[in-house]
């Protein structure tokens, strides 16, 4: 008898996506909804969230939203306290302040680490408590970056934050593994979004990026969607503590 491919379907699953109002977070939420999950979108912008949920629902998905600043630990805990149990959590909230090291200010360090590292850690702590109590296992996915595996000029703070995320995720994989909770990261290269638009307007920047990518092009938001569904589904049931590279070959050298 032939073995059966584990399902990529997320029917009957409940998912939470932070940073879901736009960009990669919205793409992750859309991907999960299209795969059958009931998705809760979380971000700071109520208007963006309402518009995103309307689009997901109009396309046949099921969604709701929570308007919360993930850097506010008390507000995040309060918002999730009465939320349903989540089988899937995607941490997509993040920021960057590209500067030369000598120009980096303490405010830049605090802003990047508060959102990219501290908020991610607190979210994992909060949702893992509920996942453990529910006893059903689950999947925690953080949108990291290729910059969590390499260095880059003018991105010292960002690289430091993403390297921290990679270490945190590996540790969480061991701590939560006995509860059937898998923890992985998705590591894209530069993706064309509103977040990176100013970078790509810099003279020569696109050419520099493409020269580092074996496929010769920058990423599109659609490029991360299949990876999110894969890590959320039973198709990746033996995968934890791993970084799924979506970098076009940047780290292959």
Tell me whether residue 87 is exposed, middle or buried, using C-beta atoms within 10 angstroms of its C-beta: 0 to 12, 13 to 18, 19 or more: buried
Q: Which of 124, 144, 148, 158 is catalytic?
A: 158
> What is the three-class DSSP state of 143?
strand
Check if the beta carbon of residue 200 is closer than 8 Å to that of residue 192. yes
Sign of CA dihedral 22, 184, 119, 229: positive
Check if the beta carbon of residue 56 is closer than 8 Å to that of residue 30. yes
Check if the beta carbon of residue 179 is closer than 8 Å to that of residue 127. no
Catalytic, 158? Answer yes
Check if the beta carbon of residue 161 is closer than 8 Å to that of residue 116. yes
Cβ atoms within 10 Å, residue 169: 24
Active site residues: 158
């Amino acid at each position: 008898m032939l073995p059966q491919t584990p399902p990529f379907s997320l029917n009957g699953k409940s998912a939470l996506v932070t940073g879901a109002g736009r960009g990669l977070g919205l793409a992750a939420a859309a991907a999960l909804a299209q795969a059958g999950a009931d998705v809760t979108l979380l971000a700071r912008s109520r208007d963006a969230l309402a518009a995103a949920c309307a689009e997901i629902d109009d396309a046949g998905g099921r969604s709701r939203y929570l308007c919360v600043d993930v850097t506010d630990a008390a507000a995040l805990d309060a918002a999730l306290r009465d939320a349903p149990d989540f089988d899937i959590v995607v941490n997509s909230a993040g920021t960057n302040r590209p500067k030369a090291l000598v120009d980096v200010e303490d405010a830049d360090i605090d802003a990047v680490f508060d959102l990219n590292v501290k908020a991610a850690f607190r979210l994992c702590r909060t949702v893992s408590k509920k996942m453990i109590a529910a006893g059903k296992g689950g999947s925690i996915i953080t949108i990291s970056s290729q910059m969590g595996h390499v260095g880059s000029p003018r991105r010292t703070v960002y690289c430091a934050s993403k390297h921290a995320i990679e270490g945190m995720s590996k540790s969480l994989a061991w701590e939560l593994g006995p509860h059937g909770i898998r923890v992985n990261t998705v590591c894209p290269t530069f993706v064309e979004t509103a977040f990176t638009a100013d970078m790509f307007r810099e003279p020569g920047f696109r050419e520099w990026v493409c020269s580092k990518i074996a496929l010769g092009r920058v990423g599109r938001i659609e490029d991360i969607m299949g990876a999110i569904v894969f890590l959320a589904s039973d198709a990746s049931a033996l995968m934890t503590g791993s970084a799924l590279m979506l970098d076009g070959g940047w780290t292959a050298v």
